[in-house]
């Protein structure tokens, strides 16, 4: 698998890209946290199961919640950082990279050129991370990249 | 590095056991002897289950350790960012499936003990495992075809992965050679959409 086989056709490429986004959406972008969330939900269900008769015997009738409600609570708890991030609307990487990607997406170029632009962007970042000793260099290179793309789009 | 990881796993396992025992002591003092014996040690069992799940999932190799393994196995030339991302995700998926199997066993035991709760939990566990497995298959297909990282979503994923890799191990980022770039797939050049409309 060192060299790409190039077996994905154009529709296959689109379908697999959409499927990946869909699956990530179902797993809320993080399979590990989702698995932990389900385990936590089971734990919450068990704890509620223990306290429920105790509370009922003392006159507090809250009702027995369904198992899926406990699992939902567990999932929300473990994904809380992601939920907060979504509310604050902060970029996942940094502002320059986000704006550069928005620029590529909104520029009226063909699909193939867009793909090449994304690959080029990732490759520039790989080069920069691999060769520099500090993280400060990323901004400078991305700045020039933004200028280059803006020049083309103008 | 491997020695350090083993120590981490063993220490994590003892911490989980310690937490379960502490939970037993706390519930005994809070609930009293009679209620505690009736609770069937459910609290310590749940703490142990959650602790073991976290241990299994989060004690996996780091991003740079995966890169190092890939470099040793396939050589420096094959050590591309998308492949490192793929192997990191395969490892994560295997761990998720192990945790899901653990949940399934718990669900089955619950079903044996009180005759309910087995099927919903088993169904959730199997569904989760299937989605996680399918996700890895899709990533594998895209990486194999050299198409991964060529959409906005995937480029963002790779860049987040790359920055996480760099932050977690700044000193040992790319010895003995550089991380390879994504392969430029030769594709036919198409005219922009507006040009096609104009024609």
- DSSP code string of B118-182: HHHHHHHHHHHHHHHHHHHHHHHHHHHTT-TT-SHHHHHHHHHHHHHHHHHTSTTSS-SSPPBPP
> Taking CB atoms and an 8 Å cutoff, what residues of chain A touch B84?
none
pLDDT for residue A130: 65
**Interface with A, mutate which of B24, B130, B152, B169 (most A CBs under 10 A):** B152
- Domain borders along chain B are 1-59, 63-182
> Does any CB of chain B come closer than 8 Å to the CB of residue A14?
no
Mean pLDDT of A76-104: 81
Categorize the per-residue pLDDT at A94 as very low, low, confident or very high, splitting at 50, 70 and 90: confident
Mean pLDDT of A50-68: 74
Binding-face residues of A in 17-46 toward B, CB within 8 A = 17, 19-21, 23-24, 26-27, 31-32, 34-36, 38-40, 42-43, 46
Write the DSSP symbol of residue B80.
Answer: B
pLDDT for residue B175: 47
Checking if the pLDDT of A140 tops 50, the result is no
pLDDT for residue B176: 47
For B10-48, write each residue's pLDDT tens digit.
Answer: 888 888 888 888 888 888 887 777 777 776 777 787 788
Q: Which helix (H) or strand (E) holds A8?
A: none
Contact A115 B57 (CB under 8 A): no
pLDDT for residue A137: 38
CA angle A86-A92-A94, nearest 5°?
130
pLDDT for residue B137: 92
Residue of A nearest to B57 (CA): A32
Q: In the block, which residue shows the tokens 């075809």?
A: B145
CA angle B118-A35-B110, nearest 5°?
20
Contact B83 A36 (CB under 8 A): no
Q: Higher confidence at residue B3 or residue A107?
A: A107
Contacts of B148 (CB under 8 A, 6+ apart): B82, B85, B86, B139, B142, B154, B158, B182
Q: Which of A4, A34, A93 lies closest to B128 in CB terms? A: A34
> Taking CB atoms and an 8 Å cutoff, what residues of chain A touch B75?
2
> Taking CB atoms and an 8 Å cutoff, what residues of chain A touch B131?
23, 26-27, 31
For A9-57, write each residue's pLDDT tens digit.
Answer: 778 888 888 988 888 887 767 888 888 888 788 778 877 777 777 777 7
| Residues of chain B where predicted confidence (pLDDT) is lower than 70 | 1-2, 39, 107, 110-118, 168-180, 183-199
Kindly state the tokens that stand for A81. Answer: 């950082």
Residue of A nearest to B161 (CA): A93
Contacts of B14 (CB under 8 A, 6+ apart): none
- Domain borders along chain A are 30-88, 95-153
Packed helices A95-106 and A111-131: angle between N→C axes, nearest 10 degrees: 160
Binding-face residues of A in 73-112 toward B, CB within 8 A = 92-93, 97, 101, 104-105, 108-112
């Amino acid at each position: 698998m060192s060299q790409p086989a190039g077996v994905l056709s154009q529709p296959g490429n689109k379908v697999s890209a959409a499927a990946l986004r869909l699956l990530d959406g179902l797993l809320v972008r993080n399979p590990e946290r989702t698995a932990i969330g389900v385990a936590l939900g089971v734990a919450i269900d068990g704890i509620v199961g223990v306290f429920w008769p105790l509370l009922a015997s003392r006159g507090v009738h809250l009702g027995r919640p369904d198992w899926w409600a406990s699992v939902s609570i567990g999932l929300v708890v473990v994904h809380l950082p992601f939920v907060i991030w979504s509310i604050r609307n902060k970029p996942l990487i940094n502002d320059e990279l986000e704006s550069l990607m928005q620029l590529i997406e909104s520029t009226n170029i063909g699909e193939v050129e867009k793909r090449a632009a994304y690959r080029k962007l990732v490759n520039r970042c790989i080069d920069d991370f691999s060769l520099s000793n500090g993280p400060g260099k990323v901004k400078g290179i991305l700045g020039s990249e933004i200028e280059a793309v803006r020049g083309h789009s103008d | 590095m491997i020695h350090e990881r083993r120590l981490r796993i063993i220490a994590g396992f003892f911490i989980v056991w310690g937490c379960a025992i502490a939970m037993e002591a706390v519930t005994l003092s809070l609930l009293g002897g009679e209620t505690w014996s009736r609770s069937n040690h459910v609290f310590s069992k749940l703490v142990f289950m959650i602790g073991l799940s976290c241990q299994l999932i989060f004690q996996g190799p780091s991003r740079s350790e995966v890169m190092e393994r890939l470099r040793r196995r396939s050589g420096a030339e094959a050590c591309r960012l998308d492949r490192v991302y793929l192997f990191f995700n395969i490892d994560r998926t295997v761990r998720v499936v192990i945790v899901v199997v653990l949940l399934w066993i718990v669900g089955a035991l619950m079903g044996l003990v009180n005759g309910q709760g087995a099927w919903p939990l088993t169904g959730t566990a199997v569904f989760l495992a299937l989605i996680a497995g399918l996700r890895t298959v899709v990533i594998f297909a895209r990486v194999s075809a050299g198409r991964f990282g060529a959409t906005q979503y995937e480029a963002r994923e790779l860049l987040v992965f790359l920055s996480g890799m760099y932050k977690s191990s700044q000193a040992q980022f790319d010895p003995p050679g550089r991380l390879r770039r994504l392969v430029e797939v030769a594709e036919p050049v198409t005219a922009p959409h507006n040009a096609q409309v104009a024609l």
